[in-house]
């Protein structure tokens, strides 16, 4: 997983999971400037209520998208 993938998934679904948020926080000292900007933007979207902390429902079989936080 990359910060960019996490950003796009969170913006497209409106949800970020606790494990994804933990992953983001644990690795923030390794981010490039672009990744840092994306992480800050995610934080602002959380603060504004655009992105919610929660869980995503499982995708149906045959769905084009799958995402793993591990």
What's the pLDDT tens digit per position in 5-35? 999 999 999 999 999 999 999 999 999 999 9
Name the residue among 60, 69, 63 with its Cα closest to residue 10.
Answer: 69
Helix, strand, or coil here: 14? Answer: coil
- The pLDDT-based confidence of 44 (bands split at 50, 70, 90) is very high
Chain Cα centroid distance, residue 22: 10
Residue pair 24/3 in contact (Cβ under 8 Å)? The answer is yes
Helix (H) or strand (E) holding 47: helix 33-48
- Domain residue spans in the chain? 3-53
Q: Which residues pair with 15 in a beta bridge?
A: 52
Taking every pair of Cα atoms in the chain, the longest distance, rounded to a whole number of angstroms, is 37
What is the arithmetic mean of pLDDT over 42-64? 82
* pTM, two decimal places: 0.76
**Residue 65: pLDDT above 60?**
no
């Amino acid at each position: 997983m990359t910060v960019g993938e996490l950003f796009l998934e969170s913006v497209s679904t409106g949800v970020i999971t606790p494990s994804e948020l933990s992953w983001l926080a644990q690795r923030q000292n390794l981010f490039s400037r672009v990744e840092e900007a994306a992480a800050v933007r995610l934080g602002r979207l959380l603060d504004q209520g655009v992105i919610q902390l929660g869980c995503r429902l499982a995708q149906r079989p045959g769905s084009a998208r799958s995402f793993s936080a591990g």
